[in-house]
Amino acid sequence: MEAIGKATRGQRLDPEDVTIAYVGGGSRQWVPNLVQDLALSAFDGTVRLYDLDVEAAERNAEFGNWVQEREDATANWTYEATGSLDAALEGADVVLLSTQYDPSETFVHDLDVPEEHGIYGAVAATIGPGGIFRAMRTIHDYKRIAARVREHCPDAWVFNFTNPVHFVTRALYDEYPDINAVGMCHEVLHARAHLADLASEHLDVDAERADVSVNVKGINHFTWIDEAYCDGVDLWPLLEDVAESEAGTREFTPADLEDASPFVDNWQVSWELFRRFGVLPFAGDRHIVEYANWFLHGGQEGLNRWGVKRTGSDFRAKHWTPAESEQTTDVEAWLAGEKAFELEASGEAFLDILEALAGGESVVTNVNLPNRGQVEGIERGAVVETNAVVRASEIRPLAAGGFPRPVESMIRGHVDTIETIIEAARDGDLDQAFRGFLIDPQVRTLQTEEAAELFAELVAAEEEYLDDWNVADADVLDGVDVEI
């Protein structure tokens, strides 16, 4: 792999004085994890937590300052909450983006309404009808954030963790082409850890994620690899053997998965696509099936047969409610002394990236950036996911090559959907957005009239989150018997 094209360049970070603006600072998962990573880091500074739910941001600020008082905290950070985006961003060195709307008012519709039309999505978070509507209610907010970054901290490093990563990161660049924005996702990290486990099991080595290197390429949640090494040993023969083994050809029933977590990953979809196309998908199966839709047919049995469990709307709604959530963080219980707290690193790559940008040891990791030639066969400007070299003041993508024609065809189709929605968002053109919706592979299982009905039903269910779209004058909604 070689570094190619234009690097994303920004300011060099000062480890002794970093200002981080966190948009979505009331997060119950990402912020508590970040607090622990920062407490164990080689950096000092200030974190400004911005959230529409100021109370949630204040709770996280209290937690952050509480963690800093622990003896095992090696860094020195101060946390403060704010209800002003401008105040959070002013002069920031780093901006983190991690937001979502109440799933009970949005996500549940993304899952349930398409199901009424026979589309049994597994996650509905990044592509397909639900993923597209998640993008439509998010894109304009992030264009506004990009405009504020341009005004208040134009040289800041911006890290986007918000799904759908490819839509959202693309929207940031669409508004502010010179933004130093990077889309982040941990799916590739999890997949590398899985290959390390396979190497340890079959090659009699003691491997960890850091020992595994891969040539990753694609779009977020639909990444692929065509090379894999563990400490210099070629893993490809092992992967081919596993794909043909009993472990790579398992079948499941709904009963097998009844008590499983929706996040379970049995890799059966990945092995099947590897056998069919000769390159290996490298994101969780629950995401891959949203892009490679064969596995969605047949409803629950069809999906479960491949070891994938649907993340249902009931789970999404409960996940939002702290009392019922299965999240691993529990800030209020920790602060009240009702639950034991142990300071530990999350295992995410973010702090490694910050250290490299500050002039520390360079690192190679997966990132989402506009395509400047790092991926062949995909249009320039579309946000793609590849490895990149991160070093002082720059993130430079690595040349990843192209794909077998069938895989390239699938990826390009999804890029066309993403780019069509981004173009439509510039003027809030709902009819143009429907055209992007209509060419999505999940939607193409429907007649065009039913696709329009599904689109109109989703608009009706989520209209209060679609203020930036011209709903009143949209032709696609004419003649559809849905109350808007």
- CA pseudo-torsion sign 116, 121, 127, 133: positive
Structural contact between residues 159 and 13, judged by C-beta atoms closer than 8 angstroms: no
The HSE-up count of residue 482 (CA atoms within 13 Å, CB side) is 22
Strand 94-97, strand 18-23: pairing: parallel
Structural contact between residues 345 and 37, judged by C-beta atoms closer than 8 angstroms: yes
Q: Say which amino acid occupies 39.
A: A
User: What is the C-alpha separation between 460 and 455, in angstroms, rounded?
Assistant: 9
**What number of other Cβ atoms are within 10 A of residue 392's Cβ?**
12
3-state secondary structure 142-158: HHHHHHHHHHHCCCCEE
Encode 255-269: b = buried (16+ Cβ within 10 Å), e = exposed.
eebeeeebeebbbbb
User: What is the C-alpha separation between 291 and 410, in angstroms, rounded?
Assistant: 8
Structural contact between residues 129 and 443, judged by C-beta atoms closer than 8 angstroms: yes
Structural contact between residues 87 and 104, judged by C-beta atoms closer than 8 angstroms: no
Torsion of CA 112, 113, 118, 121, to 10 degrees: -50
186 is catalytic: yes
User: What is the C-alpha separation between 169 and 161, in angstroms, rounded?
Assistant: 9
Encode 129-147: b = buried (16+ Cβ within 10 Å), e = exposed.
bbbbbbbbbbbbbbbebbe
What are the two backbone dihedrals, phi and then psi, of residue 383, each rounded to the nearest 5 degrees?
Answer: -80, 120
DSSP character for 184?
-
Structural contact between residues 165 and 142, judged by C-beta atoms closer than 8 angstroms: no
C-alpha 318 chain-centroid distance: 20
Question: Which one of 186, 287, 297, 414 is the catalytic residue?
Answer: 186
DSSP string, 203-259: S-----GGGEEEEEEEETTEEEEEEEEETTEE-HHHHHHHHHSGGGS----HHHHTT
Residues involved in catalysis: 186
